[in-house]
């Protein structure tokens, strides 16, 4: 009986050792997911306050940032900021932003793909669409390094 218990205990210990990296990886992925969702929540709040510059804090401040949209590619943090400021010149144009159907897919320990929907409620008419974001973890936290956003066609009335 003693030998069986020893064998069982040793087997259980080995199983715990084998599963430990999986548990650690899952915890890290959950931490990354929560941090990325916090960036998006902050962006949504900043947008809804009418503060595009604060909204841009979610993006990598680099000339290598890329944004893909209906009019092609915009490269660099400053040009992306200028694009937002031109397209959404005032709070009325910005409306109220809501993100939904967010899906975070880890691409490693320092990168993730995020899929989601966006919706702007505005007096001039609601708009919305889908987006794909690539996040990278930097020393200052998770930042968007690539944004591909499309606008859905207006719904028939």
Q: Are strands 127-138 and 72-75 parallel, antiparallel or unpaired?
A: unpaired
Q: Which pTM does this prediction carry?
A: 0.81
Walk along the chain (157 residues) and give the pLDDT tens digit of each residue. 455 556 655 555 544 445 555 555 555 567 899 999 999 999 999 999 999 999 999 999 999 999 999 889 999 999 999 999 999 999 999 999 999 999 999 999 999 999 999 999 999 899 999 999 999 999 999 999 999 999 987 665 5
Q: Tell me the C-alpha distance between 153 and 77, whole Å.
A: 27
Single out the residue of 110, 146, 115 nearest to residue 31, CA to CA: 110
Domains located in the chain, CATH noted: 2-151 (3.10.450.50)
Pinpoint the alpha helices (H) of the chain.
Answer: 2-48, 52-55, 77-87, 91-94
């Amino acid at each position: 009986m003693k030998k069986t218990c020893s064998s069982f205990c040793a087997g259980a210990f080995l199983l715990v050792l084998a599963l430990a990296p999986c548990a650690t990886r899952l915890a890290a992925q959950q931490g990354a997911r929560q941090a990325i969702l916090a960036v998006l929540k902050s962006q949504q709040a900043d947008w809804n306050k009418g503060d595009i510059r604060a909204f841009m804090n979610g993006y990598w401040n680099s000339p290598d940032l890329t944004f893909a949209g209906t009019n092609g590619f915009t490269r660099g943090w400053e040009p992306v900021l200028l694009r937002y400021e031109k397209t959404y010149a005032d709070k009325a144009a910005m409306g109220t932003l809501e993100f939904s159907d967010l899906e975070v897919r880890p691409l490693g320990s320092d990168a993730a793909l995020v899929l989601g929907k966006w919706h702007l409620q505005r007096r001039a008419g609601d708009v919305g669409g889908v987006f794909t974001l690539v996040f990278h973890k930097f020393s200052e936290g998770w930042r968007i390094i690539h944004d591909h956003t499309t606008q859905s066609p207006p719904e028939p009335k």
